[in-house]
Chains A and B, each alone.
Chain A
Amino acid sequence: DTGVSQNPRHKITKRGQNVTFRCDPISEHNRLYWYRQTLGQGPEFLTYFQNEAQLEKSRLLSDRFSAERPKGSFSTLEIQRTEQGDSAMYLCASSLAASSGTQYFGPGTRLTVL
C-alpha cells in the first residue's frame, strides 16, 4: 500500500497561467476527491469521482477549475487563468465506495500564484 500520491508537491506560477495537478489514489479505491485548503482553514471540498464518473462538481470554485479521471485511476485538477487568490494547498483523497466515508489523504500540492 503506497498511499495517495500527488504531483507536483509545489508549484509556483504567474498570474494568468494554467496549471495542472495529478493525483494517484490508493490502487483499489474507486472514489477520488479533491479539496482546497487555505492557511488557517480546514480543507474545502471541491469535487469527487466514483470510478471515471464525476458525481459532484457544483462545489468547484469557478468555471476556471476542472477535473478529470479518464480511466478511473489517476485524476487531474486543472486551474485555468490562475489568480493570486488561487494560492492554496490542493489535497486529494481516496476511499472505497463501500466504506463508511473514510478518506485517505495525499500530501497535497502547494500552489503559489505570483
Chain B
Amino acid sequence: GNSVTQMEGPVTLSEEAFLTINCTYTATGYPSLFWYVQYPGEGLQLLLKATKADDKGSNKGFEATYRKETTSFHLEKGSVQVSDSAVYFCALSDRGTGGGADGLTFGKGTHLIIQP
C-alpha cells in the first residue's frame, strides 16, 4: 500500500535559518506529491505540489523537488521566519493504479517552531 514517512518533530530553528523537512514515500502507481501546512487554529492549506518526476513545486519561499529515484519530496526554505511556525504534512495522491481510491495519503506531520 501507499505510505508517507516524514521526519519526527518538533523541529526548532532560529529565525533566518535554513529549513529542511524530509519526506519519503512508497506508492504503487505514479503519485502526485504535496506539502500541506496547518497554522495554529487553522485548517489545512496547500503549500505546494509536484505532479511528475523532477518537477519542483514552490510557494512562499518554500520549495520541494519530486525525486523518483530516491522516492523523496523534501521541503526546503532558505530563511525561515517566525510566521512559518506550523505543522507541515507531506502527502501523496496515487493515480493510475486502477484501484479507484483517490484520497490523499498523509505523513504524520512535522511541527516546526521558529524562535526569534
Q: Could you list which residues of chain A lie within 8 angstroms of chain B, going by C-beta atoms?
A: 31, 33, 35, 40-48, 55-56, 58-59, 91, 93, 100-108
Contact = CB atoms under 8 A, between A and B. Distances in A.
B87 to A, nearest CB: 9
B44 interface: yes
Interface stretch (B11-19, B67-75, B77-85, B93-101): B93-101
Given A40-B108, A101-B93, A101-B95, A55 B103 contact: no
A105 B108 contact: no
A31 B103 contact: no
A-B CB proximity, top 6 nearest: A45-B103, A42-B106, A101-B93, A105-B44, A107-B43, A101-B32
B43 A102 contact: no
A104 B46 contact: yes
Contact of B108 (A41, A45, A91, A107): A41
Contacts of A45: 101, 103-105
